[in-house]
Structure 1
Amino acid sequence: MTGTAFVVGVGTTKFEKPGSRAWQYWEMAKEAGGAALADAGIGYDLVEQAAVGHCHQSSTAAQRAVYELGRTGIPVYNVNNNCATGSTALAMARRFVASGADDCVLALGFEKMAKGALGAGADSGDFAASPVARHYGIMAARHGFAATPPTAQLFGNAAREHMERYGTTREQLAAVGEKNHRHSAANPRAQFQDVYTLRDVLGSRTVHDPLTKLQCSPTSDGAAAALVASERFVRAHGLQGRAVEIAGQALATDTEETFASGSCIDVVGRPLSRAAAGRAYRESGLGIEDVDVVELHDCFSVNELLTYEALGMCAEGDSGELAASGATTYGGRWVVNPSGGLISKGHPLGATGIAQCAELVWQLRGEAGGRQVADARVGLAHNIGLGGAAVVTLLRR
């Protein structure tokens, strides 16, 4: 890296239940990308490359999408890193800019999903060929394989292990769902804006014990976009008042630590997230003590708890107490997932990581409306995908 990269424009669609709106993925992409360009006040002709994330569309869907913004002949990269796809596209855009190769790069992510729970990643029916077969094999050796949705099994079994090992309670797990649904009530772009009590969360349908429906992220349709630019570009186009610095960023993949313990806590990514966070902290010179607002990957409530520990917000095993204490909501030490997080904002895989960036940019600019975190200066985004990849990004204003 030879230079600093800034986010100068962001945009998202509303995240919606699959099939609730008659639109195509390229229409979503056009809406989000157009919003990001308008936010920066620049034209698509200034974009030099595009890193575009999607998981459920065809191989060159990225081109089909960005052609709606302009057909300028720039390089377009199709990115797929499971649930970390959006943040991986953002990391690519940042690298292009910080290396000095480009002055303005578009990171775009979108997804048009099917209704219902995600599968195990073996679309052909040959489970052994699944990219996450090793992960499920570790789980099956310890917990067996049930008839419930496979991804929920992985995280539900991680929750069971956390309860057994540290004494975490069902109420502490449910506190994550209660908080994030409450936060989303102030987010007009969220898939849900309903507020639930802790009792409601605990009493909703069990997906895989101990996880209930209101502790699980839904499938979603939606898109998000971010424009990443060099300092030279920011100055040339008078964007100093819009620019948010990417102070540090790291993408990590699994090491043997993920699999060696035989624990679902490790399989779903606590060591992976810890490694990415450590690298991002070192690069930025910032620590979790400097962070004001966090958007993290709460695909299931337990993953928010595991991520607290991975980011250094608390010691291992203390995340349940942290969630129940109020330290991660308004008036606490951090505000975590003011957008509503994946649980309530929604989770269109290719868009999620970029939507996290958009929320933090709005927060750091003071443009988040009714969900604004007071005096926010540093934000942290965490996005993870099984298989595996984790991206941690530190943004500073």
Structure 2
Amino acid sequence: MKTIKKLSLLSLMSLSGLGLAQYTPQWTEAPQQIDLVDMTSFKSISQPVNSEQQAVRFHYSLLGSDQLSDNNQGYLAESKQYWLNTNAQKLSQGLQLPVTSDLAVIRINPLNPTKSSQSLNQQDITVQQFDQTLSVDVFADSEQLKATGMPVSDYTVAFNVHTQPGMLTLSMPTATKALAKGDTFIIHVFEPNSEYVLQLKTSQQQYAANQVVKINSQLLSQSGVNHMTIAGYITQPNGEKLTDLSFQQNKNGDYQATIGQLTGQSLAHGLWEVHTIASSDINGLKVMRDVSTAFALSLPTARINQQLAVQSHGLKLGLDVAAAGRYEVSAVLSGINAQGEKQPIAMLMSAAQLNKGQADLTLDLPQDLIRQSGFKGPFVVDHISLKNQSLMVPVQQLSAGIQLMPLGKPMDQDDLR
């Protein structure tokens, strides 16, 4: 009898090691078959920026984490600030700055710092409003600003000034004498206590190549959405301006611009960026705001096809590769807890150098974390994302998931007797 019990225990232990090997993978929906890019059209960005060759597979626990939300929500940027370009002559004459609250933080940033820029000091700066000279408080120079982690140019100065809603005049009466004739500056005005907020959001964080990019903006205050004049443009990851944006007002009061026919670039130097400038006249009060946001754009040098297999505690995903390089696939493994809720178990990642043509990448299905979770099936692999690590650019992000279905009736202790 003891021998039978020992054999049963050993059998159970060996079967627990089988885990998801007893499952077959099925797509919850067919993955979108994107058109692969013709790499001969993209010679300018085809130079690899990542030369790593070693294949890697790893995972980490997500047990105890909240259920993951949609990972492709657009980022909402908000602003209570604006920028103006000016020069030494205009500063000597006085520059008009609209403000909307009781406090303004003003920064004078030289665009082309020269030795003459060293002459910027608190005594030379005058701020007036309603024919009254305002006191300049909390004056900081570039060294003090840099010490806080702020990326400013040499000889930048910043200060606080207490204001009232309306126009104020920033002037440096001796600027034409102290500064070089060609000195130019950016004036940055931040109003932390203002009720006027300019919002900017893209509909997604990441777009597929040639997908329409939707950009929405609105100027909010305590009274709601305000009418405004808004202009903007998009810059590429290399910093070059791509195109201007044309915003149209929707019925709900916000403003929208759309642009299509964009194709991805390496993100080695950053993301695609949207920059906007808005102004409004609200009950006689002028409001100015600038805001920027960013998004990623995929370059379909490969795609995940419908080929799937579970082998040796791993999930193999088939790929169609248009350009050889190092690719990474990542996903989340989830199961069902005792309350019938879907909960994450592990983040899965795999990367390898792939040749052009048919290929595959395999994600670990971590048996230890599956057992530790105590979750039951159906297990799901979703939040699937494919990246080209050689070019540092996203390739594909799937809304479809993979369900791991049992091959037959789940085994229990009675099956071992």
**Greater Rg, structure 1 or structure 2?**
2
Structure ranking higher on relative contact order (CA contacts 8 Å, 6+ apart): 1
More strand by share: 2
What is the TM-score when the length of structure 2 is the normalising length?
Answer: 0.21
